[in-house]
Amino acid sequence: MPGHKLTQFEYALQQIVKLLGNLLFSLEEHRSTHTYLVVLRFCELKNIDYLVLRYLYTGALPFEECSEEWSFDGEV
């Protein structure tokens, strides 16, 4: 997808996922378990929990172009 420009919706969703993912990471570091669960529940209600958790575990944002290096990382 070289040269792909994000729509306003895609860009906004990407920024929200990044913000909430970073917030969850920070809450986990500070051991704020109750607040972490509240934010995670909010993500579930908004139906973006999968995207936020994927961002936390892999660092991949929605609509982000994949590098060729990522597709071969860890493959034999």
What is the value of pTM for the model shown?
A: 0.73
The residues spanned by each domain of the chain are 8-62
19 pLDDT more than 70: yes
State the distance between the two ends of the chain, measured CA to CA, in whole angstroms.
26
- Supply the DSSP symbol for 63: T
Rounded to the nearest angstrom, the gap between the alpha carbon of residue 28 and the centroid of all alpha carbons in its chain is: 15
Quick check: helix, strand or coil at residue 52? helix
55 pLDDT more than 50: yes
CA angle 21-73-28, nearest 5°? 25
Please give the mean pLDDT across all residues of the chain: 82
